[in-house]
């Protein structure tokens, strides 16, 4: 198993680093600390998204016939890794690029591909994902949002929750039940819904950080044309699993690269506070570095398996589980280092990061669910009921 870049991949990485060095705006908050959040300035995010598209870094793995570059998942992993290291902003259509677009390519109709794909690439259309519900979070087969047929339309009623960036989005990939008599995985359908349709209400959810990255979406007798169904009516489970497979494919590289950035900031904080010579602090920092390296090489193994089989392996669940714990430990240590009565930009930055990290073991698959996945798929233990 060769975990190194090929010559072509190394050249791609070098070119990307050069472009990022020239294109990523330098922004800092108070006292030189990082600026808060990745979506503080939506206009700046849109501008950077346009630059990404123009430079050919949007839709790297999409087929050329749909506006992409037809590159391998390895190139996408390199992009995620290097852009996180450069502290670049995300494409404003990050969910459309990484999840909805590939789903439309794999399962959508020719008309859907022709309309949505070019607009996702440019950021003209911004998607969110409408899967989780108040009583159907980790268990998507329990969704209750109903889409009943009325002539050549579906009438949608229900509520979705924890939809990332829904307050910025204008479209939603919605998982709904089209057969109320069916149970579990059967009777579900995926729809492409315009959030500007009458009857849709989006309510941002305020987090304890004071920010609102997520929202709940309420559908009150929302009329959606039948041609908005992705795949066939009743085929929603397969379509949804296609979406989730793309979400998990190379996302570990983004998480690990962000942890690497946080680690660099942790070391800088220890030095600025004069704690870098304290043996107990050094021991804790070394432990955080070991966790970071373990995640980095697990990602490489996962990518090698993805390249070999074309399917993400269970390593993705391992990375998500261990990353969430590692990030929480790192931010907690940073808060301790800045709890010295000297409030400044770094103090506020780490308190915000620590509060935000509490959600890491819930979002994107709870730690409990991920442990079940690892137990069943890696250790071969019997299924938990």
Compute the distance between CA of residue 58 and CA of residue 67 in angstroms, rounded to an integer. Answer: 9
Those residues whose C-beta lies under 8 Å from the C-beta of residue 347, and which sit 6 or more positions away, are 338, 339
Those residues whose C-beta lies under 8 Å from the C-beta of residue 381, and which sit 6 or more positions away, are 375
Q: C-alpha 302: how far from its chain's center?
A: 17
Which one of 247, 260, 291, 353 is the catalytic residue?
247
Query: By the 8 A CB rule, do 202 and 166 touch?
Result: yes
Compute the distance between CA of residue 214 and CA of residue 161 in angstroms, rounded to an integer. Answer: 8
- Is 247 known to be catalytic? yes
User: Please, what sign has the CA dihedral across residues 47, 69, 300, 317?
Assistant: positive
Q: Which residues participate in catalysis according to the annotation?
A: 247
């Amino acid at each position: 198993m060769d975990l190194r870049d090929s010559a072509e991949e190394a050249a791609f990485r070098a070119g990307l680093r050069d472009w990022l060095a020239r294109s990523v705006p330098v922004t800092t908050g108070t006292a030189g600390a990082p600026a808060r959040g990745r979506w503080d300035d939506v206009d700046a995010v849109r501008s950077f998204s346009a630059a990404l598209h123009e430079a050919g870094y949007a839709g790297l793995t999409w087929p050329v016939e749909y506006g992409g570059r037809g590159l391998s998942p390895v190139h996408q992993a390199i992009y995620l890794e290097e852009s996180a290291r450069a502290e670049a902003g995300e494409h404003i259509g990050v969910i459309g690029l990484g999840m909805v677009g590939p789903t439309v390519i794999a399962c959508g109709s020719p008309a859907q591909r022709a309309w949505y794909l070019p607009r996702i690439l440019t950021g003209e259309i911004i998607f969110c994902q409408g899967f989780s519900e108040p009583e159907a979070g980790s268990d998507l087969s329990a969704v209750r949002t109903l889409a009943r047929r009325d002539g050549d339309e579906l009438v949608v009623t229900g509520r979705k929750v924890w939809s990332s960036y829904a307050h910025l989005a204008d479209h939603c990939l919605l998982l709904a039940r089209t057969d109320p008599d069916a149970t579990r995985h059967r009777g579900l359908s995926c729809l492409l819904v315009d959030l500007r349709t009458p009857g849709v209400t989006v309510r941002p959810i305020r987090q304890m950080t004071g920010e609102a990255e997520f929202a709940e979406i309420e559908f009150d007798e929302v009329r959606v044309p039948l041609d908005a169904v992705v795949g066939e009516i009743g085929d929603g489970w397969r379509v949804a699993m296609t979406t989730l497979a793309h979400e998990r494919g190379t996302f570990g590289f983004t998480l690990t690269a962000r942890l690497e950035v946080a680690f660099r900031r942790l070391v800088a904080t220890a030095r600025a506070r004069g704690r870098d010579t304290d043996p107990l602090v050094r021991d804790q920092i070394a432990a955080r570095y070991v966790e970071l390296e373990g995640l980095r090489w697990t990602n490489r193994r996962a990518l090698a398996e993805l390249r070999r089989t074309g399917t993400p392996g269970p390593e993705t669940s391992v990375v998500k589980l261990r990353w969430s714990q590692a990030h929480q430990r790192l931010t907690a240590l940073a808060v301790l280092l800045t709890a010295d009565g000297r409030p400044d930009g770094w103090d506020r930055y780490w308190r915000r990061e620590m509060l935000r990290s509490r959600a890491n073991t819930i979002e994107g698959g709870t730690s409990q669910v991920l442990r079940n996945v690892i137990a069943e798929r890696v250790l071969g233990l019997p299924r938990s009921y």
